A and B are shown apart, each in its own frame.
Chain A
Amino acid sequence: MQMLKILIVSLIGFVSATLSAQAVIEIDITRGNVQPLPIAITSLVGSDQEMTSNGSVMEIGQQIAQVVTADLERSGLFSAIDPRAFINSANASPVPQFANWRAVGAQALVTGIAELEEDGRVRVEFRLWDVLAGSQMTGLRYYTAPRNWRRIAHLISDAIYKRLTGEDGYFDTRIVYISESGPYLDRIKRLAIMDQDGYNHKFLTDGSYMILNPRFSPTSQEITYLSFYNDTPRVYLFNIDTGKSEMLGEFEGMTFAPRFSPDGKKVIMSKAENGNSDIFAMELSTRRIQRLTSHSAIDTSPSYSPFGRYITFNSDRGGSQQIYVMDADGSNIKRISFGDGLYATPVWSPRGDLIAFTKQTGGKFYIGVMRPDGTGERILTESYFEEGPTWSPNGRVLMYYRKYPYDNNGGGGETQLWSIDLTGYNERQILTPLDGSDPAWSPLME
């Protein structure tokens, strides 16, 4: 009887325990609204009495905030709140009054200071705050010569982007491209370089000979390109810091479409002999060259996967121009594109998940992406003519060039640089002093 009592009591206890355990409500949240994150970026606080070669420290602080705002907005992932709506003006108090920032709809807040050091450098500090939680998410300090304030701004943008998206940024990067000018039949094509936002523009060649296919090294400030110096097309290597260029060997026939390997130690390219082109890789230290394909069809536009194990290229060996993937030694060739039309210029994303390409069908050109196994093809943009996608170093944005048709009055024919992110919505033009084509994105600067 006693046993039965104990049994009943323990049973009741067990049942009530399970009931109370169920009491915590569990909810699955599976939908949301993907929207730009509202962020408030305040001017870095600095003195207008401290003068540098680039204006007062206060002005530098204001300009840094403007560049950071422009960077983050251009990414399409953030919406910067108009500073005129701010309840608090910028001030040096270490902890912001979060209620005031919440009131203007900010979810993230950037504050900071700029001060002149005794050695003439500027010290820049910024903090990124989670407005809703009322806590600091990240904070960094930089020292730099006043003229480098723009790079510091891009570095701050990268740090904010990384903390809020989980991906590396791409703002402290540069673009090389071909600057074009002159009439259609006598085009002057020069190599030019600029920051990813179009500032600090410089011409690297004088236009006396044609330059094509510039490509950045993924590990250093070096570029390969195809030069028609002395009317002979050759692949060259150009060091941006030293300004020196060298030819990558003398080959029979024509070499083109060069591209670095991910470790920067090899250059892969096409070489045409007797009307047929195949793919070759060259070791930069030894200048040893290795043939990777040998087929009667035209194989060109090779690009390595991020770890250098595979190569994607295009070929018309199947009857029409399509994208193929092979092992880095040239074995195991597989076709991956099977859609309508012609596929060209495959480029492997730096994060490995996608291959970008140019597609031509129905009298139009398209930039799209597909997975390395050929599935999930997605068109991001289309126009009369566009080509040559290049990836941002974080693999989220593509830059390419677009050409407009000539009209009957001799106008039109502009060539412009454009960028689009992987969502396919955030498409923007990158302004260049003259026409621009064939862009190549640098890695993050060291």
Chain B
Amino acid sequence: MKNALIISGIFHLSLLVFAAMDVPWFDTVENAEMQVIPVEMVDIAEVTKTVEIAKVPEPQRDKPKPPEKQPERMAELPPPPPKMQSTMPLPTQTAEKPAEKPKPPVKRAEAPQVQPRSRPKPPSRYSADRIAALLNKVPEKESVIESLAERFGPQEQQATSLDVQRQTMSISAAIRKKIEDQCWNPPSGALDAGSLRVTVVMYLTPDGSLARTPVAEDYARMAGAQKVAADSALRAVRMCAPYSDLNLPKEMYDQWREIKMNFDPSEMIS
């Protein structure tokens, strides 16, 4: 009888504990899910800001490195002067060398832009270009990891679906900002100019330039003011190209090789 009471008591207590802990927990999960959508919307702006900030440090981090190296080389250079005690012309030669040496890293930094084009040509035999391209892959990967680390911290280097979602948002925010700030000049003259919406699809290469002609949906059927609105959207997409300055993450190229843009001037022109 006592045992039965204890067992019953334990069961009831565990039921109460379960009810107190689990049931409300389910509730909060549902609530949390409901709230996710607006919170994500707010995140876009935050991500935008981090992208903006991240954009500036990236080149700075790359650049500070050469200066660091330069001092080292400068430190290395002093030894030569003792050697050239004998002749005067030599100092100028040695002075030129340090100037030449810092250049190669700059060239290597430019080369990766060409490299993707050389990739799809496996039939060609190894060439100087190809070797250079191979060499250049290393810094490229490093920079991608660096940029990932900057944006999301080292723990999140493994891409989860949330990362992809977040990064997609930062990609679209960066492109949106560039086009809105620098390139789109909507036609304001037409009657009902505010209602002239246009959808343009842009195709990018991995280095951020236009892979082919951007397309405005239904362009062939357009006339008059609608066509003028489409022209202004196409001009904006072309004006802003290439998008290499946005440092779009190359490992996510599949996400941004094709971008759909809805140009809507209704908020600007009433």
B side interface size, CB within 8 A: 46
Cβ of B227 under 8 Å from chain A: yes
Give the total number of A-B pairs whose CB atoms are below 8 A apart.
Answer: 111
Cβ of A30 under 8 Å from chain B: yes
Cβ of B189 and Cβ of A77 under 8 Å apart?
yes
* Residue from B235, B260, B265 in contact with A24 in the complex, judged by beta carbons closer than 8 Å: B260
Query: B177 CB to closest chain A CB, in angstroms?
Result: 10
Known contacts: A31-B180, A32-B180, A34-B185. The answer to whether A25 contacts B226 by CB under 8 A is no
Cβ of A133 and Cβ of B191 under 8 Å apart?
no
Cβ of B190 under 8 Å from chain A: yes
* Residue from B234, B262, B265 in contact with A27 in the complex, judged by beta carbons closer than 8 Å: B262
Query: A406 CB to closest chain B CB, in angstroms?
Result: 38
Known contacts: A32-B265, A32-B268, A167-B225. The answer to whether A27 contacts B259 by CB under 8 A is yes
Query: A151 CB to closest chain B CB, in angstroms?
Result: 23
Query: B135 CB to closest chain A CB, in angstroms?
Result: 31
Cβ of A166 and Cβ of B228 under 8 Å apart?
yes
Residue of chain B at shortest CB distance from A132: B238
> 8 Å CB contacts to A: which residues of B175-230?
175-176, 179-181, 183-191, 213, 224-229
Cβ of A125 under 8 Å from chain B: no
> Could you mark each residue 16-58 of chain A with 1 if its beta carbon is under 8 Å from any beta carbon of chain B, else 0?
0000000111111111111101000000000000000000000
Query: B212 CB to closest chain A CB, in angstroms?
Result: 12
Residues of B within 8 A of A132 (CB): 234-235, 238-239
Cβ of A32 and Cβ of B186 under 8 Å apart?
yes
Cβ of A396 under 8 Å from chain B: yes
> 8 Å CB contacts to B: which residues of A116-174?
130, 132-133, 137, 163-167
Residues of B within 8 A of A26 (CB): 172, 259-262
A side interface size, CB within 8 A: 30
Cβ of A30 and Cβ of B265 under 8 Å apart?
yes
Residues of A within 8 A of B181 (CB): 33
Residue of chain B at shortest CB distance from A36: B185
Query: B269 CB to closest chain A CB, in angstroms?
Result: 8
Query: A169 CB to closest chain B CB, in angstroms?
Result: 11
Query: B185 CB to closest chain A CB, in angstroms?
Result: 5
* Residue from B227, B254, B259, B268 in contact with A34 in the complex, judged by beta carbons closer than 8 Å: B268
Cβ of A107 under 8 Å from chain B: yes
Cβ of A351 under 8 Å from chain B: yes
Residues of B within 8 A of A33 (CB): 181, 184-185
24 A-B pairs in the complex with CB atoms less than 8 angstroms apart: A24-B259, A25-B256, A26-B260, A27-B172, A27-B179, A27-B260, A29-B264, A30-B267, A31-B267, A31-B268, A32-B183, A32-B268, A33-B181, A107-B239, A132-B234, A133-B213, A133-B238, A137-B231, A164-B228, A165-B228, A166-B189, A166-B226, A166-B229, A396-B189
Taking A26-B262, A33-B185, A130-B231 as given, write out 17 further A-B residue pairs in contact, using a Cβ cutoff of 8 Å, ordered by the A residue number.
A24-B260, A25-B171, A27-B179, A28-B262, A29-B184, A30-B180, A31-B267, A32-B265, A32-B268, A130-B235, A132-B235, A133-B213, A133-B234, A137-B231, A166-B227, A351-B191, A353-B191
Closest 4 CB pairs of A and B: A166-B225, A32-B184, A166-B228, A132-B238
Binding site for A on B (CB under 8 A): 168, 171-172, 175-176, 179-181, 183-191, 213, 224-229, 231, 233-236, 238-239, 254-256, 258-269
